[in-house]
């Protein structure tokens, strides 16, 4: 069994699983780890693709993880105890701990309610794109269309709170690079990465100007699918 030190740059479920495996402490449950790998590679919006039981245990872990809060490490620090504690919790979840499972179910209900709220901001959709106008709610992961009952490849969102426009792709930018499109539309001050990118920060545009940019972004993204 490995008994040395592992240098990691961040703590997420993938990192935790790898460290626990090296130390011989990884809970053995293919359903949990395969589900976690699927969400890690395809995105959290794909949770509903998984069997109900898999969703239940992943939500239970996510609820626990959220409850721990975000930890910032400014210098080299021994985090083995944190990693091992996550392993203990994962084992309890896999074993069906009632409190952890119920916390996960509560989080799943919150997620469903938020998804329903997001749908209220939808202004248009077709088989290629979903477009949202929102206050500050995050809509750029709402690829699944309840009306069309399938995932739509692209999203354009106009956020009035942040006065910006975001472009994102369900395939995380494998076919089209959102950052390239954003810079084409709005210049070098536009930013992001292949999966999601947006207009320049601190835009001081009027409502009519934002509407024009919103429509321009929609047209540009739709042109990719012609």
| Host domain of residue 214 | 122-223
In a domain, 6, yes or no: no
Q: Are residues 45 and 168 in contact, defined by beta-carbon separation less than 8 angstroms? A: no
How many distinct helices (H) and strands (E) make up the chain?
A: 7, 8
Domain boundary among the residues 115, 139, 164 is at: 115
* CATH, residue 171: 3.10.310
Split at pLDDT 50, 70, 90, the class of 81 is: very high
- Beta strand 154-159 with 150-151 is unpaired
Section 73-102 average pLDDT: 95
CA torsion, ordered 48, 50, 56, 61, to nearest 10 deg? -100
* Residues 95 and 175 reside in one and the same domain: no
Return the pLDDT at 1: 66
Together in a domain, 55 and 132 = no
| Between 39 and 202, the higher pLDDT residue | 39
How high is the mean pLDDT of the chain?
95
Instruction: Indicate if 86 and 29 belong to the same structural domain.
Output: yes
One-character DSSP codes across 6-21: ---S---HHHHHHHHH
Same domain, 55 and 73: yes
Read off the pLDDT of each residue in 108-116 and give the average, rounded to a whole number.
Answer: 96
CA atoms within 13 A on the CB side of 207: 1
| 127-166 confidence digits (pLDDT tens) | 999 999 999 899 999 999 999 999 999 999 999 999 999 9
- Each residue of 157-203: pLDDT tens digit? 999 999 999 999 999 999 999 999 999 999 999 989 999 999 998 89
Number of domains in the chain: 2
Three-state secondary-structure class, residue 154 = strand
pLDDT category, 93, cuts 50, 70, 90?
very high
96 plus 134 within the same structural domain: no
pTM, 2 dp: 0.86
At 223, the pLDDT band (50, 70, 90 cuts) reads: very high
Domain endpoint, select from 115, 142, 172 = 115
């Amino acid at each position: 069994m490995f008994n040395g030190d592992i240098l990691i740059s961040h703590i997420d479920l993938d990192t935790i699983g790898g460290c626990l495996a090296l130390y011989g402490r990884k809970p053995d449950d293919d359903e949990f780890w395969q589900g976690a790998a699927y969400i890690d590679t395809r995105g959290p919006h794909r949770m509903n693709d998984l069997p109900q039981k898999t969703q239940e245990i992943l939500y239970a872990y996510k609820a626990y993880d959220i409850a721990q809060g975000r930890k910032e490490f400014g210098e080299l620090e021994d985090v083995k105890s944190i990693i091992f504690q996550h392993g203990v919790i994962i084992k309890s979840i896999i074993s069906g701990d009632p409190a952890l499972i119920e916390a996960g179910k509560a989080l799943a209900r919150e997620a469903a309610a938020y998804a329903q709220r997001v749908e209220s901001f939808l202004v248009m959709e077709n088989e290629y794109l979903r477009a949202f106008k929102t206050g500050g709610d995050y809509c750029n992961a709402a690829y699944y269309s309840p009306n069309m009952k399938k995932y739509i490849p692209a999203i354009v969102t106009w956020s009035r709170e942040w006065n910006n426009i975001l472009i994102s792709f369900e395939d995380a930018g494998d076919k089209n690079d959102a950052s390239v499109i954003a810079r084409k539309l709005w210049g070098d001050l536009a930013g992001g990465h292949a999966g999601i990118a947006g207009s320049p920060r601190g835009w001081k545009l009027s409502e009519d100007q934002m509407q024009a940019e919103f429509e321009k972004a929609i047209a540009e993204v739709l042109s990719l699918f012609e």
